[in-house]
Structure 1
Amino acid sequence: MVREDGKRNFALRETDGGEESVYSGNTPRQAALKAARRLDPGSSEDAADRTELRLREKGTDKVHIYDGWAWRETAPDNKPDWMPSEITEANVSKKGIEHLES
């Protein structure tokens, strides 16, 4: 379901089917990137572990499946004062869509 501001809600599905976390975004990829930033970061993008993320779009039976990974990186020189010197970056790669059985 699309909210008034155009964003949709996506529930992160656990292996047992539970849905503890909800991420919002205009696209499933945007929500997957938010979920990936919460993974344990590796020392670099190449060294980061890939984790499967399954996001069910609220109000539908669609489950968007991504591989996600996160890594630590030095913040840019022009960072604002409140930003820490080391930040977490993330990326995702879409694997496909599944439909839940009713």
Structure 2
Amino acid sequence: MADTRNFVLRDEDGTEHGVFTGKQPRQAALKAANRCNGTKSEPVTIRLRERGTKKVQVFKGWKEIVKAPENRPAWMPEEISKPFVKKERIEIIDE
């Protein structure tokens, strides 16, 4: 079974900030997308580099406000934000 991996959020200029964890890059991208302000018509670019590697996973991400499921717990609000991501490409850092 795979352990969790750490992915660092990376800007276009190469500065890194924020760490998201997940077993797969998509899981970490979904967590990052839930914090962004992208919409389906204008998604944001999410660039995640796995710690210890030079690979950068590039996703387009956004979130939408959707109705919570019928079997939701009592503490959950009626509307929740649901993240969406679409993988664009993988880049290799040349440093």
TM-score over 0.5 for the alignment? yes
Deviations 1:6-36 (A, max 9, x none): 1110001123322121101111111111111
The equivalent of 2:14 in structure 1 is 17
Which amino acid is the alignment partner of residue 36 of structure 1? A
Q: Cα offset for 1:41?
A: 5.9
2:28 partner SS = helix
Where do 4+ consecutive residues of structure 1 move more than 6 Å?
A: none
The equivalent of 1:58 in structure 2 is 51
Tell me how far apart the structure 2 counterparts of residues 41 and 50 of structure 1 sit (CA, whole Å): 5
Tell me how far apart the structure 2 counterparts of residues 72 and 41 of structure 1 sit (CA, whole Å): 12
Say whether the 8 Å CA contact 1:48–1:71 is kept in structure 2: no
Which amino acid is the alignment partner of residue 56 of structure 1? R
* Of 86, 89, 93, the match for 1:93: 86
Change (3 A) 1:58 1:16: same
Q: Which runs of 5+ in 2 are unaligned?
A: none
1:59 partner SS = coil
Identity of aligned residues (%): 46
